[in-house]
């Protein structure tokens, strides 16, 4: 059995590496030609374009890994069947599932390695690639924001500002409302402007009016400047929410989603993308199970049929995933369902196909 497992592994690995290189090249070419006219309009140097494509390569590897596993598994099993090797294996009493166990083990290893690779290399390189594209195309991003409302570090404090200026970390038309543990009004602070004091970690308020609850009445005081030790919410919380979860590592992405929730902004799309990072990790294992069931059905035109089946199944998987993420984004289903549904659907299809596979 060990010799048979080695034979399967030796036939799988070269095909997988070639398939991975091929699909990475396809993804690189798609991205290049989609942006080529923009590069030409901005007269971006050839060396800079190549550097952008190089930084995109880890992301391409991440995208291409599942489809490469699918193609390699289907092709290797198809080759074995065309050479009548599977007939000998089945005649020896070895079921199909036991025969493909080495491929499933490799796919599980690829899944774990893919997550580590994503967290430590893909995210950073993809973020740098996007920044390089913006720089090459002279695109700028502003984090200034208008009409922004944010919950404080404790939910008893609410900030509202007419405008946040990200260049000098200042707020205009600031209103801060403080509530007690029972939700009753305690204090309201109105300031025409507020400047962030980085050293003290607080906001310096200018032209201030303070309304404080005094029993059944409300007292008012005025100040030219005021520093309140409770107002320590960092300026980053007032910025325009333009971050991309795909460019963040898992802890940063989770923190970002919490900020969206505290600010009362839409977070379902970001949460779905966060969950999708973990579900996508298992994609190589699931597609390996599915392709193991269909790979032995090809006896003629193995290369063409394996490639065709891989592309069709990959398109169906990604389209299903895209539709579920859209449903999760607009609140029709939970974000966890939107991220995991496609994976579990293909897992069930793989198990059913394996049970009905030729053996």
Our CA angle for 262, 263, 267, nearest 5°, is 80
8 and 130 share one domain: yes
- The H-or-E segment that residue 241 falls in is none
More confident residue, 354 or 58: 58
**Is 261 a member of any domain?**
no
What is the DSSP pairing of strand 185-197 with strand 202-214? antiparallel
Q: What is the dihedral of CA 319, 325, 326, 331, to 10 degrees?
A: 150
pTM of the model: 0.70
> What is the radius of gyration, based on Cα positions, of the chain?
28
SS3 98: helix
pLDDT above 70 (res 221): yes
- Given a contact cutoff of 8 angstroms between Cβ atoms, the answer to whether 65 and 284 are in contact is yes
More confident residue, 212 or 355: 212
90 and 153 share one domain: no
Residue ending a domain, choose from 193, 219, 238: 238
85 and 30 share one domain: yes
24 and 112 share one domain: yes
84 and 186 share one domain: no
SS3 145: strand
pLDDT above 80 (res 317): yes
Residue ending a domain, choose from 238, 253, 278: 238
Sign of the C-alpha dihedral computed for residues 116, 321, 345 and 77 taken in this order: negative
**Is 88 a member of any domain?**
yes
129 and 151 share one domain: no
**Is 299 a member of any domain?**
yes
85 and 120 share one domain: yes
Structure tokens at 109: 């290893």
Q: Name the one residue in this structure whose structure tokens are 């543990």.
A: 181
How many Å apart are CA 323 and CA 321, to the nearest integer? 6
8 and 107 share one domain: yes
pLDDT above 60 (res 222): yes
- Most confident stretch, 25-29, 165-169, 293-297: 25-29
**Is 195 a member of any domain?**
yes
- pLDDT band, very low/low/confident/very high, at 25 (cuts 50, 70, 90): very high
SS3 315: helix
- The H-or-E segment that residue 154 falls in is none
pLDDT above 60 (res 296): no
123 and 149 share one domain: no
pLDDT in tens, 231-267: 888 887 787 655 677 778 888 888 878 877 766 667 8
**Is 319 a member of any domain?**
yes
pLDDT in tens, 78-132: 777 777 777 777 777 777 778 888 888 899 899 889 888 988 888 889 889 988 8
- Most confident stretch, 32-36, 100-104, 177-181: 32-36
Conformational region of residue 117, where left means phi above 0, alpha means psi within -120 to 50, and beta covers everything else: alpha
pLDDT above 70 (res 358): no
Nearest to 39 by CA among 138, 141, 137: 137
Work out the average pLDDT over 156-170.
Answer: 87
pLDDT at 175: 92
Q: Name the one residue in this structure whose structure tokens are 């038309």.
A: 173
**Is 227 a member of any domain?**
yes
SS3 54: helix
- Given a contact cutoff of 8 angstroms between Cβ atoms, the answer to whether 11 and 76 are in contact is yes
Total tally of structural domains belonging to the chain: 2
Question: Domain range spanning residue 312?
Answer: 2-138+267-355
27 and 87 share one domain: yes
335 and 214 share one domain: no
How many Å apart are CA 149 and CA 243, to the nearest integer? 18
- Given a contact cutoff of 8 angstroms between Cβ atoms, the answer to whether 250 and 33 are in contact is no
15 and 118 share one domain: yes
């Amino acid at each position: 059995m060990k010799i048979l497992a080695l034979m399967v592994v030796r036939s799988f690995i070269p095909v997988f590496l070639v398939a991975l290189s091929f699909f990475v090249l396809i993804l690189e070419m798609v991205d290049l030609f989609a942006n080529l006219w923009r590069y030409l309009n901005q007269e971006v140097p050839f060396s800079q374009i190549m550097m952008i494509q190089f930084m995109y390569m880890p992301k391409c590897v991440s995208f291409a890994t599942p489809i490469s596993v699918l193609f390699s598994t289907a092709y290797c099993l198809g080759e074995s069947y065309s050479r009548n090797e599977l007939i000998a294996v089945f005649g020896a009493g070895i079921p199909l599932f036991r025969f493909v166990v080495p491929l499933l083990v490799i796919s599980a290893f690829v899944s774990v390695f893919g997550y580590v690779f994503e967290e430590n290399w893909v995210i950073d390189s993809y973020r740098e690639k996007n920044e390089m594209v913006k720089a090459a195309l002279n695109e700028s991003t502003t984090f200034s924001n208008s009409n922004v409302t944010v919950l404080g570090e404790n939910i008893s404090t609410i900030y509202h500002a007419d405008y946040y200026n990200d260049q000098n970390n200042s707020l205009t038309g600031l209103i801060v409302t403080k509530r007690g543990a029972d939700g009753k009004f305690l204090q309201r602070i109105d300031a025409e402007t507020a400047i962030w004091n980085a050293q003290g970690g607080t906001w310096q308020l200018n032209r201030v009016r303070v309304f404080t609850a005094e029993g059944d009445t409300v007292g008012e005081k005025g100040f030219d400047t005021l520093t309140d030790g409770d107002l320590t919410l960092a300026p980053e919380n007032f910025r325009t929410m333009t971050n991309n979860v795909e460019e963040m590592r898992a802890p940063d992405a989770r923190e970002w989603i919490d900020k969206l929730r505290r600010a009362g902004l839409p977070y379902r799309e970001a949460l779905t993308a966060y969950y999708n990072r973990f579900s996508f990790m298992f994609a190589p294992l699931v597609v390996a199970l599915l392709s193991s069931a269909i790979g032995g059905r090809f006896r003629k035109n193995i290369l063409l049929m394996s490639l065709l089946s891989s592309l069709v199944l990959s398109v169906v998987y990604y389209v299903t995933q895209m539709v579920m993420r859209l449903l999760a984004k607009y609140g029709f289903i939970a974000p966890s369902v939107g991220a995991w549904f496609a994976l579990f659907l293909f897992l069930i299809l793989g198990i059913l196909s394996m049970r009905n596979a030729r053996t």
